[in-house]
Amino acid sequence: MQISLFTVLILMVLTAVGFLVGRRRAYAVSSGHASRLHSLPSYYGYYIALWTGVPAFILLAIYGMFGNDAVNALAGAQMHRAGEPVHAQFEQALSDDEDIARLEAELATLENRRIYAREAIERDSELVPAAGEYPAQSPAERQQALSSEINRLAAEREARAEVLAGQVEAQTDDALARAGFVYSRLSDERRELMINDARAIAFGEGVASRETPEINALASAMRPFHEVLRSSMALAALALAIGGLAYARSRISSSFRARNRVEGAISVLLLLASVIAIATTIGIVLSLLFESVRFFSAINWRIDEFLLGTQWSPQIAIREGQVGQTGAFGAVPLFAGTALITVIAMLVAVPVGLFAAIYLSEYASTGVRGWAKPVLEILAGIPTVVYGFFALLTVGPLLRDALLLLGYENAVTQSALAAGLVMGVMIIPFVSSLADDVINAVPQSLRDGAYAMGATKSETVRQVIFPAALPGIVGAVLLAVSRAVGETMIVVMAAGQGANLTANPLESVTTITVQIVMLLTGDQEFDSPKTLSAFALGLVLFVLTLILNVIALRVVQRYREKYD
Amino acid sequence: MTDPQNTAAPAATVYHDQPSANPIKVETRSVSVRYGDTQALHDVSIRIPDRGVTAFIGPSGCGKSTFLRCINRMNDTIDSARVSGSVLIDGEEVNSRAVDPVVLRARVGMVFQKPNPFPKSIYDNVAYGPRIHGLATKREDLDAIVEASLRKAGLWAEVEGRLGMPGTALSGGQQQRLVIARAIAVNPEVILMDEPCSALDPIATARIEELIDELRENYCLIIVTHSMAQAARVSQMTAFFHLGHLVEYGPTEDMFTNPHDARTQDYITGRFG
């Protein structure tokens, strides 16, 4: 455990004590006339409790966040120091070794030649062959050849150094020094692994993947640092708590405005909550933006090709040295697929949702409305993955069989139509619930006016209520569109993956969201244009839904102003 | 002198002598209205003359608006409302199954407390009724109806040449006159007005009252009002409602100078309500 439960408990008790002390102190300074105090006595209690608890818990939080890293760094430094004598021996062995010297000389020569080749590439000139050393090569080929040779020699040097290190290790008797030497020669990833194993052994954090004398040495180096840091932090937190309590208590007088201070603390708390929400949003948008910039620089800033190209096959570009790497990132088929499915979904959701809303708000009796509205809203509570396999296992095959019966030979299970239909069903409650609110907001006086003119119910709905509610309904539909555009699970399961540029709803298409899923699932390298393109797609999606939402909210807002 | 109606009404309504020369347009017999479990109106019997203004006065919640809504069956639109008794217009039963409320409402127009022009142009607002009832087959006929209605409502001079403007863009008083024009456009026989001036300023109110005075030459007007002064100014007959009962009914002048019931006297002298 990082922070002992005991410390936390004591702090909580102290905070509670602070509250009681504050209240009693308030009674005391008012000499029994609580009405003479500026604030109610409990506010003085809260004030002291805040001063007792907050600084101490902040200290503990900081320790919780950075305590482990501090212990690791301290223990690591100690290991380095212990390994220094052995490391000196190793350096000596390296400089004495003939093989190493030879390899390093060769490496230096090759590195010079590679630099020369690179400069030639940059100047866009031919290489001048030196003394028949190599046949006529283009600078690029030359650079490549040199690079692989350099890699080979470097590996050889590394292997030789490894052998020497083994020899030095074997000569060392001191276990701690040997462990320190091993520790200091590790790569960052391996060091991370070793630290994790050592922590597992030292503090029982998880299970160690292996146990070697070196890891044990690191673990025992960690323990004292950990103990000291932990107990000193606990003491410091207690001291802060008691200090805060004493300080706050000393400030209490009958004119002290404890209520306003507590109010201030509450507003800080609320501010923090909203800052977290806003900062997270900004963070997500920025990460999208930066990764998109990386992607666009990887395709040489051919943003036009990304937005207007009709060829989408990101997997081609993963192979190195491929000519025309950028040609495969034309996202138009994805945009078209998204649009196709969205249109189908809207064709289902808007009429059905709207009519359901009109029925519920204008025709249904209170009793029917009482149970029908919640039932409709249950539809909205079904997880989209359930809709997904409903589309894949029921609607898709049904459509295919029906089409085959009708003689359409190319019918497939995964089609834009199946995904769009089911997505439309999913969005019905969304549309109906929003439209219902909007229709209910149409003033009753308009209905009365129409009925009093002798209009029938449907005339009233068509000629008076619908036009009055239209701006709100448009807003609702736009919100539904942005929902459809961003919907993922149904299309992943039911729309297929092929990036076909087609307007035929019976073919399988793919959408922006499906491709993002495809690009980021499984093992991926996070620096290839293939993976990075997911972020650019995400950015497009974000901008699209943002625009839709802004328009929708503005439309709805304008409508509200009119009738309130 | 006792009115023969008195025998038909179990509630002790006081009826003044009714010297009105005009024939009876609307007559009700023992009309009661229940909203669910609460009875809003008890056995109201009344005879309302044609070509005149009859005012319904009384404190809030006394049932006068509910009664007004019985005359064009607007209570049908409220699920929980149950109406009993009979309402006769020109001697014809309104509550019978044979009467289509849609047709009835073309004969009995209604104007509400808050101006409620439809979210359409001025022209379309006035043309709404004639269109749904098929009163005009040609565009010129419709134009003529719209103009005549707006003239009768005293709005023509103010909106002439901008009939395409949305009705909601007019001022409150203009909107109320637009709504009256809309009601007139279907050429009704009876016009019901539910506190038509309560949302208006004194100047717009005066304008509407003038209009009501002009309209009474051609229509049977029934107006619900909170303002005793307004009732005295515009009406020839006044009915006083209290707690769902029709307490007293008679010529306005007589009602205000010589109220028979103590409750009426208290109300019009401002002792309660």
Tens place of pLDDT per residue across chain A (564 aa): 456 788 899 999 999 999 999 999 988 888 878 788 888 889 999 999 999 999 999 999 999 889 889 998 998 898 888 888 888 888 888 888 888 888 888 888 888 888 887 887 777 776 666 655 556 667 777 778 888 888 888 888 888 888 888 888 888 878 888 888 888 888 888 888 888 888 888 888 778 778 888 888 888 888 999 999 989 999 999 999 999 999 999 998 888 898 999 999 999 999 999 999 999 999 999 999 999 998 888 888 888 888 888 888 876 444 455 444 445 788 898 999 999 999 999 999 999 999 999 999 999 888 898 898 888 888 888 999 999 989 999 999 999 999 999 988 888 888 899 999 999 999 999 999 989 988 988 888 899 999 999 899 999 999 899 988 888 898 889 989 999 998 889 998 888 877 888 888 888 888 999 988 888 887 667 777 888 888 999 999 999 999 988 988 888 777 665 554
- Give the pLDDT confidence score for residue A129 in this predicted structure: 61
Can you name the residues that pair with B190 across neighbouring β-strands?
A: B108, B220
- Number of A:B CB contacts under 8 A? 70
- Tell me which residue has tokens 């073309």: B106
> Would you call A370 an interface residue with chain B, using a CB distance cutoff of 8 Å?
no
Q: Do A463 and B128 touch (CB under 8 A)?
A: yes
Q: For strands B237-242 and B52-57, give the pairing.
A: parallel
> Would you call B129 an interface residue with chain A, using a CB distance cutoff of 8 Å?
yes
Q: HEC profile for chain B? A: CCCCHHHHCCCCCEECCCCCCCCEEEEEEEEEEEECCEEEEEEEEEEEECCEEEEEECCCCCCHHHHHHHHCCHHHHCCCEEEEEEEEECCEECCCCCCCHHHHHHHEEEECCCCCCCCCEHHHHHHHHHHHCCCCCCHHHHHHHHHHHHHHCCCHHHHCCCCCCEHHHCCHHHHHHHHHHHHHCCCCCEEEEECCCCCCCHHHHHHHHHHHHHHCCCCEEEEECCCHHHHHHHCCEEEEEECCEEEEEEEHHHHHHCCCCHHHHHHHCCCCC
Q: Do A453 and B114 touch (CB under 8 A)?
A: no
Question: CA-CA distance, A312 to A314, in Å (whole number)?
Answer: 6
- Give the pLDDT confidence score for residue B140 in this predicted structure: 93
- Give the pLDDT confidence score for residue B6 in this predicted structure: 41
**Chain A: nearest CA to B65, how far in angstroms?**
13
Residue from B114, B243, B110, B103 nearest B168 by CA: B114
Q: Do B110 and A366 touch (CB under 8 A)?
A: no
Which segments of chain B have a pLDDT < 50?
Answer: 1-10
Among chain A residues, CA nearest to B193: A452
Spell out the residues 6+ positions from residue A511 whose beta carbon is closer than 8 angstroms to its own.
A334, A337, A338, A341, A491, A495
Longest dimension (CA), chain A: 109
Q: Do A453 and B132 touch (CB under 8 A)?
A: yes
- Give the pLDDT confidence score for residue B9 in this predicted structure: 40
**Chain A: nearest CA to B132, how far in angstroms?**
7
- Give the pLDDT confidence score for residue A206 in this predicted structure: 77
**Chain B: nearest CA to A455, how far in angstroms?**
6
Please give the C-alpha separations between residue A450 and each of A469, A472, A521, B108, in angstroms, as whole numbers.
Answer: 15, 20, 57, 13
Can you name the residues that pair with A312 across neighbouring β-strands?
A: A329
Among chain A residues, CA nearest to B104: A454
> Would you call B220 an interface residue with chain A, using a CB distance cutoff of 8 Å?
no
CB atoms within 10 A of CB A258: 26
- Give the pLDDT confidence score for residue B10 in this predicted structure: 44
In this prediction, the answer to ipTM > 0.90 reads: no
Q: Do A451 and B105 touch (CB under 8 A)?
A: yes
Q: Do A454 and B119 touch (CB under 8 A)?
A: no
Q: Which of residues 454-493 of A touch B (CB under 8 A)?
A: 454-456, 459, 463-464, 467-468
CA angle A82-A84-A88, nearest 5°? 150
Q: Do A452 and B74 touch (CB under 8 A)?
A: yes
> Would you call A443 an interface residue with chain B, using a CB distance cutoff of 8 Å?
yes
Residue from A26, A93, A314, A453 nearest B110 by CA: A453
Q: Do A445 and B128 touch (CB under 8 A)?
A: no
**Probe site for chain B from A453, A459, A462, A463 (most B CB atoms < 10 A):** A453
Helix (H) or strand (E) holding A135: none
**Chain A: nearest CA to B77, how far in angstroms?**
8
**Chain B: nearest CA to A450, how far in angstroms?**
8
Q: What is the pLDDT of residues B4-24, one digit of tens each?
A: 444 434 457 888 876 667 888
- Give the pLDDT confidence score for residue B4 in this predicted structure: 43
- Tell me which residue has tokens 């292996």: A210
| A-chain residues near B117 (CB < 8 A) | 449
Among chain A residues, CA nearest to B131: A455
Among chain A residues, CA nearest to B181: A453
Structure tokens at A342: 């969205």
Among chain B residues, CA nearest to A461: B118
- Give the pLDDT confidence score for residue A207 in this predicted structure: 80
Question: CA-CA distance, B239 to B53, in Å (whole number)?
Answer: 11
**Chain B: nearest CA to A284, how far in angstroms?**
43
Among chain B residues, CA nearest to A456: B102
| B-chain residues near A449 (CB < 8 A) | 112, 116-118, 179, 182
| A-chain residues near B113 (CB < 8 A) | 445
| A-chain residues near B112 (CB < 8 A) | 445, 448-449, 452
Question: CA-CA distance, B16 to B3, in Å (whole number)?
Answer: 7
Q: Do A455 and B118 touch (CB under 8 A)?
A: no
Candidate from A452, A454, A562 with C-beta closest to B133: A454
> Would you call B134 an interface residue with chain A, using a CB distance cutoff of 8 Å?
no
For the domain made up of A333-563, give the CATH fold. MetI-like fold (1.10.3720)
Residue A562 per-residue DSSP state: H
Q: Which of residues 11-50 of A touch B (CB under 8 A)?
A: none
> Would you call B119 an interface residue with chain A, using a CB distance cutoff of 8 Å?
yes
- Give the pLDDT confidence score for residue A413 in this predicted structure: 85
> Would you call B183 an interface residue with chain A, using a CB distance cutoff of 8 Å?
yes
> Would you call B161 an interface residue with chain A, using a CB distance cutoff of 8 Å?
no
> Would you call B135 an interface residue with chain A, using a CB distance cutoff of 8 Å?
no
What backbone torsions phi and psi does residue A192 show, to the nearest 5 degrees? -60, -45
**Chain B: nearest CA to A559, how far in angstroms?**
12
CA angle A174-A175-A178, nearest 5°? 85
Q: Do B119 and A366 touch (CB under 8 A)?
A: no
**Chain B: nearest CA to A367, how far in angstroms?**
11
Can you name the residues that pair with B191 across neighbouring β-strands?
A: B109, B221
Q: Do A452 and B129 touch (CB under 8 A)?
A: no
* Structural domains of chain B, with CATH: 5-268 (3.40.50.300)
- Domain ranges (residues) in chain A: 5-250, 257-299, 333-563
> Would you call B186 an interface residue with chain A, using a CB distance cutoff of 8 Å?
yes
| B-chain residues near A467 (CB < 8 A) | 118-120
Longest dimension (CA), chain B: 57
Sign (positive or negative) of CA dihedral A163, A164, A167, A169? negative
Spell out the residues 6+ positions from residue A366 whose beta carbon is closer than 8 angstroms to its own.
B79
